[in-house]
A = this chain, B = another copy of it.
Amino acid sequence: MGRRSLLLLLLVFLTPGAATPVPPALRALSSLHISTSFKYRPTVALEYSIHYIQQKVDHFGFNTDKTFKQRYLIADRHWKKDGGSILFYTGNEGDIIWFCNNTGFMWDVAEELKAMLVFAEHRYYGESLPFGSNSFKDSKHLNFLTSEQALADFAKLIKYLKRTIPGAKNQPVIALGGSYGGMLAAWFRMKYPHIVVGALASSAPIWQFENIVPCGVFMKAVTTDFRKSGPNCSESIHRSWDAISRLAKKGTGLRWLSEALHLCTPLTNSQDVQHLKDWISETWVNLAMVDYPYESNFLQPLPAWPIKVVCQYLKNPSVSDSLLLQNIFQALNVYYNYSGQVRCLNISETATSSLGAQGWSYQACTEMVMPFCSNGIDDMFEPRSWNLKDYSDECFKLWGVRPRPSWITTMYGGKNISSHTNIIFSNGELDPWSGGGVTKNITDTLVAIVIPDGAHHLDLRANNAFDPTSVLLARSLEVRHMKQWIKDFYASLGKKHGVTFDHF
């Protein structure tokens, strides 16, 4: 995939869908590559060891016996062989070390649960590339990048760990994940309940498929965040799209816009203007996801409550077009230049050149078909409908594959999942992905936890002095459920062996 394909890649997210919600961790990865300074660091150094396991490239076919090395991390400082547990992070679309560093919750609860922490990298991401540098070459090499193959990797890895680590065999394993990784955690419990006793699926939009939820919920939620974060904020953004169009039509408009927004590469035509709008839209989407209550560096180094900071520049929608765009620049600058070291803004760098981006683009073009739309009335974005045909055509151009939009529901059940047990679905109300998530209890053991002041999987992040009470409560509920699953596991094990375990 050279430079040219990357532009095409942008198109997949930016053209057919609405304002381009690319899964979070994907962008997260990108920010790692772009940003040069880290303002926020974890307070404790994380100690883990790095391992590799040989996995079949194809678990579901026997024509090839080819294997590849899947990377995983282990942290066992607090693990107890006696009455302990295994917390298994179901890696999603990015480098596993980065996820490990951004999932402080697991580290924070390890001692209490006497837990070994395992972070498993998702195939086709990070170092776990089935065909090395050829992994993204064409649809033939990408053919084994599916959620089913990833879950099978996890299942085989856990069986391997139980077989080879003394003391691990008779311990309960709990799956944890956020975002796409949260979907994987939930699906893992649904499909492999013999391997994990339960799952914490944080900010997992398992219903953002087909017609399960309206395609507009996502952009509406982003808009609500901006509306609540400052007077006239969403209205200013809403007005900005026409302002850009009007400015772009003027004689020196493109040049003026390029300079006012400090773009690294000047705009030269109307297609560039569309790219600019898409890039700005995605910036607002990103901000909604990472609207955390403290200074952080998830997608970018950012101040506490970044949307509030952004909105300080967007109080007045009724100014001239040029003043409005100068304000928009100030707002964008909060996101792209909190470090103060960025000299220009690069509008081709929201979907990045990282492997993660390629992998997710393919997944979005095959299984992970999430319809998005905006109408400019319920949300602050330009109207854009969901057009599966265009989407499919773009996918075919990009990867030579066509999406199967109903497959995920066929495979994982859509709304009809009540026969499963022991899954926690947690969602932050600030997080636009919560619209496609489970936010009401389904049964006693399929529970929803809603965090009013939470953005994208805030609960999975490390404890912080500025954490709102709602996330502290959520985490404590999550631990309570996990303890119950562990207790039930040992009780059932004791029944089998005629002994009782004294635990917790």
Contacts and interface: CB of A to CB of B under 8 A. Distances in A.
A49 interface: no
Contacts of A191: 191
Contacts of A65: 401-402
Nearest to A400: B63
A139 interface: yes
Contacts of A140: 63
Contacts of A410: 152, 155-156, 159, 195
A193 B63 CA distance: 30
B419 A193 contact: yes
A503 interface: no
A196 B155 CA distance: 24
A144 B61 contact: yes
B193 A60 contact: no
A65 B407 CA distance: 13
A479 to B, nearest CB: 22
Given A193-B413, A194-B416, A139 B60 contact: no
A194 B155 contact: no
Nearest to A159: B410
A210 to B, nearest CB: 12
A143 interface: yes
A330 to B, nearest CB: 43
Nearest to A148: B60
Contact of A417 (B152, B194, B404): B194
Given A60-B60, A63-B143, A146-B60, A194 B413 contact: yes
A293 interface: no
A139 B193 contact: no
Contacts of A148: 60
Given A410-B155, A410-B159, A421-B419, A63 B401 contact: yes
Interface size class of A (residues with CB under 8 A): 35 or more
A139 B420 CA distance: 36
A139 B366 contact: no
Interface string A267-285: 0000000000000000000
A414 interface: yes
Max count, chain B CB within 10 A of own CB: residue among A59, A139, A194:
A194
Nearest to A149: B60
A62 interface: yes
Given A155-B410, A156-B410, A410-B159, A419 B194 contact: yes
A430 B149 CA distance: 40
12 contacts: A60-B60, A60-B146, A61-B143, A62-B139, A62-B366, A63-B139, A65-B401, A155-B411, A159-B406, A194-B416, A418-B492, A419-B421
Given A61-B143, A65-B402, A159-B410, 17 more contacts: A59-B407, A60-B61, A60-B148, A61-B144, A62-B146, A62-B366, A62-B402, A63-B139, A63-B140, A63-B142, A63-B401, A152-B410, A159-B406, A193-B420, A194-B413, A195-B410, A195-B413
